[in-house]
Amino acid sequence: MTSIVLDFAARGIINPPESILSAGLYEVLMGSRAFGTATPGSDHDVYGYFISKEITLPSSSDDNEGKLRVVNLTVNNQGLKQYDLVLYPVIKYFELCTRGYSQQLELLFAPDANLVSVCDATQLVRDNRHMFLHQGTVKEFCRFAHQQLDDMVHRRRTDGMRAQYIESYGFDVKAAYHVVRLMREAHQLHIEGDLDLQRCSGLLLSIRNGKWTEQEIVDCVQRLGSEIQQLRSRLPEQPDLDGIRRLFLNCIEAEGARLAFPVADLFSRTF
């Protein structure tokens, strides 16, 4: 598998730091291409994380610290294509996954066909992805879904295509699509302890194509939330922090990386 980041760097399209050029990488094609809802004009969202040769503790709790982010990148690969590239440092990535953040966890559950670049160390993490799941994960997915629902109902995002969606359908169908997706993912995690990103792709496409009303979106969120509260979860109450720390150490050992801080400080700021 060919790394998008390394390929673009070799061609002079982007200029990432040396720590990424020599790192172990995990890159996956996300967005609509991971959720089974892509159209021919959909962007290429390549997200993941990197294991640099020396692992340092983040100096702050800023989720953006040390992250490689290149958005709205137009590349001529036998036709113009739009790319968004986002890579997290491995320790920050582990922290966000353990806290239950959907945008990071979903990368580990993307279909195999969407993997762009993976090494032995990052494959080890993917193979043990269920270790990150706990009941707090479900709560975080629901929190993010309700945040987006609130933005949709109160029309807080009216820029670009969002304004066109509101004009065409009376509300932001893209936000609605993500709200239902997140709630269904939370429901699936809660009931099954697993995550299939493409299970409801047809339903999501119907929402994005304006087949649902805004009230139907609200009703769906309420129904799924009620079921999550009433049904017993398959997930443990708390994350297995000892197991996650061992996985982290095994991961960086497999990559031949070095910790530039005491093992006892691992994830101490967050957990």
**CA torsion angle 226 231 233 237 (round to 10):** 70
| Maximum pairwise Cα distance, the chain | 56
Q: Is the pLDDT of residue 237 over 80?
A: yes
Residues spanned by the domain of 171: 135-230
Considering the domain architecture, whether residues 201 and 249 belong to the same structural domain is answered as: no
Considering the domain architecture, whether residues 76 and 161 belong to the same structural domain is answered as: no
187 secondary structure, DSSP code: H
- Give the model's pLDDT for residue 39: 85
Considering the domain architecture, whether residues 38 and 104 belong to the same structural domain is answered as: yes
- Quote the number of domains for the chain: 2
The answer to whether position 175 is within a domain reads yes
Write out pLDDT tens, residues 6-15.
999 999 999 9
Considering the domain architecture, whether residues 9 and 88 belong to the same structural domain is answered as: yes
Write out pLDDT tens, residues 75-96.
987 778 999 999 999 999 999 9
The answer to whether position 70 is within a domain reads yes
- Give the model's pLDDT for residue 1: 65
Considering the domain architecture, whether residues 143 and 125 belong to the same structural domain is answered as: no
Question: Could you give the CA distance from residue 108 to residue 128 in angstroms, rounded to a whole number?
Answer: 9
The answer to whether position 235 is within a domain reads no
Considering the domain architecture, whether residues 139 and 184 belong to the same structural domain is answered as: yes
- Give the model's pLDDT for residue 209: 94
The enclosing domain of 111 has a CATH number of: 3.30.460
Considering the domain architecture, whether residues 165 and 105 belong to the same structural domain is answered as: no
Write out pLDDT tens, residues 184-235.
999 999 999 999 999 999 999 999 999 999 999 999 999 999 999 999 999 9
- Give the model's pLDDT for residue 169: 95
Q: What is the pTM of this model?
A: 0.94
**What average pLDDT does range 138-149 have in this prediction?**
97
Q: How confident is the model at residue 66 (pLDDT cuts 50, 70, 90)?
A: confident
134 Cβ contact list (under 8 Å, min separation 6): 100, 235, 236, 237, 238, 239, 240
- Give the model's pLDDT for residue 89: 96
In three-state secondary structure terms, 211 is coil
Contact predicate 86/67, CB 8 Å = yes
The answer to whether position 103 is within a domain reads yes
Write out pLDDT tens, residues 110-120.
999 999 999 99
Q: How confident is the model at residue 262 (pLDDT cuts 50, 70, 90)?
A: confident
The answer to whether position 167 is within a domain reads yes
The average confidence (pLDDT) of the chain is 93
The answer to whether position 271 is within a domain reads no
Of the listed ranges 38-42, 70-74, 92-96, the least confidently predicted one is 38-42
Of 213, 154, 149, 211, nearest in space to 178 by CA: 149
